Amino acid sequence: MLLKSVLGDTPSGKKFSPSGWVRRQLEIQAAGLAGNLDKVWRDVKESAWIGGDAEGWERVPYWLDGFIDLAWLLDDADMQKRAKRYIDAVFERQEPDGWLCPCAPEKRGEYDMWSLFLLGKVLVVWEHRTGDERVFPALYKAFRQLSGHLKEYPLFRWGKARWFEGLIATAFLYKRTGEKWLIELAEILKSQGMDFQEKLRSWRWTGKEKEWTFEAHVVNTAMELHSELLYQDLLGDNENKGAAFASAMLEKLRKYHSTSYGHFTGDECLAGDAPIQGTELCGIVEAMFSAELLLAATGDAQWGTYLENLAYNALPATCSEDMWSHQYDQQTNQIACVKNEKVVWSTNNAEANLFGLEPNYGCCTANFGQGWPKFAANTFLLKEDTVTVALLLPGTLTAEFGGKTVVLTDDTEYPFKDKGTLTVEAPEQGVEFTLKIRIPELARRAEINGVEVEPGTYWECRKVWQGKTLFQWQLDFEIQQIPRPNGMQCIRRGPLLYALPIAARWEKHEYERNGVERKFPYCDYELFPEEPWGYGFAEGEFTYEEGSVGEFPFSESAPPCRISAPMQRIEWPTFPGIDNVAAPCPENTSPTAPAEQKKLIPYGCTKLRMTEMPCVK
């Protein structure tokens, strides 16, 4: 089953413990907003899911989806206890007929079933982490009830757009029972849901969409990348139709709505390829989950690359270093984060790129916490007697093969460093299995124990493992100037995109609105630039400088690596009518000052930045 691979539901005895900078990033998240929403945010703290009077739809399930994995990856007893309180409340409030959501009986026809699909995913995660025997009967009753409910009340709005998320729990149940009604339920969901195959065939994006639609919604689009994969996996896909659909959809999205970190824009709907258009944080973490599913299912290198682009660049860039505040939208060229009367977004409001508790809308507040834990959890993938190092992240896997315990440890600071050591420890009596290592395709060359291996492939070794075996892996990356639309360029080195940081003044706002309090550290911030930002790339050498990974891995003041680049000031106006947004591109690229050496840092370390810039004439 596909989901088992990604969730880690593998041979008994399997345990993954993150270490190094990844563990530190998870600890920062646990100490920040996502780790404390049940203490500070009314929509989780007083949710209808636990008997309160606050939101009783997507926000608690969204939060639990990341919080559960975070609690178990960090082996944090307090967080585990807090998660269990919410899961217990869900089970306790299930109706006798199976209805699982907080909704009065007479309101069921008006209740958007998307939250049940999301809760189904959460309970599958919970069952994996805890072995809780309540999950199966609760989901069985809930989805049995759903199959009848949909005949009277077909899917609408978000449930219609995200119908395929209901297949996660459906597949979980079908793999255990093999009951035909579950396949019929999958067919009902698909027939009532949006037709993404038709969307792929017929939609001709112009890059100028400004009308809000479910079809153009960026989060729906990020999720739908794995829609066909889930459907075909449940039915038994022997032709890779799900992977083919995802590849074709991503190619089309990048054609019209590309970003320099390999994703697509959406603020809140698909927004073209200008570097000042935003990308919603929910769209980032949902695209990461899609990539994780697709990488596990296909092994295709493009999904590993896509996943790394999002995790190392887009995700950290849209959160403060301490992860107590986040943006709704990020811009690749972001010279300020302030409330303007006029906005460049397709549909979002003036708060969309502030750093805060719930800028623009609270869905990202609840949902962004799944990004880092699910990414870390996919470091090692197990399938039958094969263990794959899918992500070159620091951590240790303990697993059993044939009743024998094997321990694999990857010691590395990748992507900030280009090397690492993978240690395999097996019993002296020996155990046979296959080891695979995904070699990042963006490397110019790669070696394992001094032997060259091809980037974008999997190094593989099957043997009887005994005692301790060490593999030294080394990658070689080059600095690249990547063309972008309108004569612009961006700078990349391997999986890291680089940007020119802009020193910022953070202006704190503490207040209460609609019963929601903003109080330090979960308050809002506007960011104002305190230095010039209009630059172009000049002729000369680009030099890579390797540093050290500090307390905050994605630190702006102490970045783990830099690129020294020759740059020159140019005249770069602001967007017409908006003083705090750069024009999409400058009209004149003639330099206005002598060349100077500027320090570019990883995009994920920046908050105000210029990423796409022209070469000076």
**Residue 501 CB: number of other CB atoms within 10 A?**
24
In this prediction, residue 209 carries a pLDDT of: 54
Q: Give yes or no for residue 1 having a pLDDT over 60.
A: no
Q: Give yes or no for residue 426 having a pLDDT over 70.
A: yes
* Residue range 133-159: mean pLDDT, rounded: 97
Q: Give yes or no for residue 481 having a pLDDT over 80.
A: yes
Instruction: State whether the Cα torsion 162-168-173-179 is positive or negative.
Output: positive
Q: Give yes or no for residue 270 having a pLDDT over 70.
A: yes
* Residue range 481-496: mean pLDDT, rounded: 97
Percent of the residues in the chain that have a pLDDT greater than 90, as a whole number: 91
Q: Give yes or no for residue 3 having a pLDDT over 90.
A: no
Q: pLDDT by residue (tens digit) across 560-605?
A: 999 999 999 999 999 999 999 999 999 999 999 999 999 999 999 9
Say how far apart CA 482 and CA 488 lie, in whole Å: 9
Q: 279 near 265, Cβ under 8 Å? A: yes
In this prediction, residue 13 carries a pLDDT of: 59
Percent of the residues in the chain that have a pLDDT greater than 70, as a whole number: 96
Q: Where are the domains of the chain?
A: 22-193, 196-321, 381-476, 487-610
251, burial (CB in 10 Å: exposed 0-12, middle 13-18, buried 19+): exposed
In this prediction, residue 198 carries a pLDDT of: 86
Q: Which of 209-223, 241-255, 496-510 has the highest mean pLDDT?
A: 496-510
Residue pointed to by tokens 């007083």: 46
Q: pLDDT by residue (tens digit) across 4-17?
A: 545 554 434 579 99
Q: pLDDT by residue (tens digit) across 168-215?
A: 999 999 999 999 999 999 999 999 999 998 888 877 766 555 678 999
Helix/strand/coil for 381: strand
pTM of the model: 0.96
Q: Give yes or no for residue 413 having a pLDDT over 70.
A: yes
What confidence category does residue 237 fall into, taking pLDDT thresholds of 50, 70 and 90?
A: low
* Residue range 488-506: mean pLDDT, rounded: 98
Q: Give yes or no for residue 311 having a pLDDT over 90.
A: yes
Q: Measured in Å, how far apart are the chain's first and last C-alpha atoms?
A: 56
What confidence category does residue 365 fall into, taking pLDDT thresholds of 50, 70 and 90?
A: very high
Q: pLDDT by residue (tens digit) across 314-333?
A: 999 999 999 999 999 999 99
Concatenating the DSSP letter of every residue in 559-610 gives -SEEEEEEEEEB--PBPTT-TTSB-SS-S---BSS--EEEEEEEGGG-SSEE
* Residue range 329-348: mean pLDDT, rounded: 95
In this prediction, residue 156 carries a pLDDT of: 97
> Per the structure block, which two tokens stand in for 375?
């990414």
In this prediction, residue 425 carries a pLDDT of: 97
* Residue range 62-88: mean pLDDT, rounded: 98
In this prediction, residue 551 carries a pLDDT of: 96
Q: Give yes or no for residue 57 having a pLDDT over 70.
A: yes
What confidence category does residue 402 fall into, taking pLDDT thresholds of 50, 70 and 90?
A: confident
Q: Phi, psi at residue 445, to the nearest 5°?
A: -155, 165
Q: Which of 107, 120, 124, 102 is nearest to 47 (CA)?
A: 102
Compute CA 426 distance to the chain's CA centroid, rounded to the nearest angstrom: 33
Q: Give yes or no for residue 240 having a pLDDT over 90.
A: no
> Per the structure block, which two tokens stand in for 171?
């597949």
Q: Give yes or no for residue 136 having a pLDDT over 70.
A: yes
Fold of 381-476: Immunoglobulin-like (2.60.40)
* Residue range 21-49: mean pLDDT, rounded: 98
Instruction: Identify residue 114 by its one-letter amino acid code.
Output: W
Say how far apart CA 136 and CA 121 lie, in whole Å: 12
In this prediction, residue 210 carries a pLDDT of: 65
- Backbone dihedral region for residue 207 (phi beyond 0: left; psi -120 to 50: alpha; all else: beta): left
**Which residues make Cβ contacts (< 8 Å) with residue 57, sequence separation at least 6?**
101, 112, 114, 115
Q: Give yes or no for residue 282 having a pLDDT over 80.
A: yes
In this prediction, residue 235 carries a pLDDT of: 85
Q: Give yes or no for residue 607 having a pLDDT over 70.
A: yes
What confidence category does residue 238 fall into, taking pLDDT thresholds of 50, 70 and 90?
A: low
The counts of H helices and E strands in the chain are: 20, 23
**Residue 241 CB: number of other CB atoms within 10 A?**
15
Q: Give yes or no for residue 241 having a pLDDT over 90.
A: no
Q: Give yes or no for residue 70 having a pLDDT over 50.
A: yes
* Residue range 387-391: mean pLDDT, rounded: 96
* Residue range 39-58: mean pLDDT, rounded: 97
In this prediction, residue 211 carries a pLDDT of: 78
In this prediction, residue 9 carries a pLDDT of: 40
* Residue range 249-264: mean pLDDT, rounded: 94
Q: Return mean pLDDT, the chain.
A: 94
